[in-house]
Amino acid sequence: MSGRPTAMLEWVAKGTAAFEADVHCLTGLGLAGPSYLPGWSRAHVVAHLARNADALVNLLMWARTGVETPMYASPDQRTSEIEEGARRPPGELRAGLFEADGRLAEQLAALPDECWGATVRTARGREVPVSEVPWMRAREVWVHAVDLNVGTSFDDVPREVCAGLVDDVAAGFRARTDFPPVELRAEDSGRAWLLGMPGGSDPVVVTGDLPSLAAHATGRPVPGPLYPVGGGSVPGLPAWL
Share the mean pLDDT of the chain.
95
Residue 235 CB contacts under 8 Å (≥ 6 apart), including other chains: 179, 180, 182, 204, 206, 228
CATH number for the domain that contains residue 79: 1.20.120.450
**DSSP conformational letter for 151:** S
Evaluate if residue 1 carries a pLDDT over 60. Answer: no
Instruction: Say if 236 falls within a structural domain.
Output: no
The H-or-E segment that residue 163 falls in is helix 159-173
Nearest 5°: the CA angle 104, 20, 45 is: 85
Identify whether residues 69 and 182 lie together within a single domain. Answer: no
Nearest 5°: the CA angle 109, 112, 115 is: 120
Identify whether residues 14 and 73 lie together within a single domain. Answer: yes
Identify whether residues 122 and 34 lie together within a single domain. Answer: yes
Identify whether residues 35 and 103 lie together within a single domain. Answer: yes
Identify whether residues 123 and 167 lie together within a single domain. Answer: no
Instruction: Give 3-state DSSP helix, strand, coil % of the chain, rounded to 5.
Output: 55, 10, 35
Instruction: Say if 11 falls within a structural domain.
Output: yes
Q: pTM for the whole thing?
A: 0.95
Q: How far apart are CA 152 and CA 24, in angstroms?
A: 13
Domain end point (choices 96, 128, 152): 152
Identify whether residues 147 and 169 lie together within a single domain. Answer: no
Identify whether residues 148 and 210 lie together within a single domain. Answer: no
Q: How far apart are CA 49 and CA 75, in angstroms?
A: 15
Identify whether residues 135 and 216 lie together within a single domain. Answer: no
Evaluate if residue 200 carries a pLDDT over 90. Answer: no
- Of 200, 144, 153, the C-alpha closest to 23 is 144
Q: Which domain holds residue 58?
A: 6-152
Tell me the per-residue pLDDT of 107-165, one tens digit each, with 9 for 90 and over.
999 999 999 999 999 999 999 999 999 999 999 999 999 999 999 999 999 999 999 99
Identify whether residues 137 and 202 lie together within a single domain. Answer: no
Domain end point (choices 122, 152, 182): 152
Identify whether residues 79 and 139 lie together within a single domain. Answer: yes
CATH number for the domain that contains residue 167: 3.30.1050.20
Instruction: Say if 235 falls within a structural domain.
Output: no
**pLDDT at res. 74:** 87
The pLDDT confidence band at residue 197, using thresholds 50, 70 and 90, is confident
**pLDDT at res. 231:** 86
**pLDDT at res. 31:** 97
Instruction: Say if 84 falls within a structural domain.
Output: yes
Total structural domains in the chain? 2
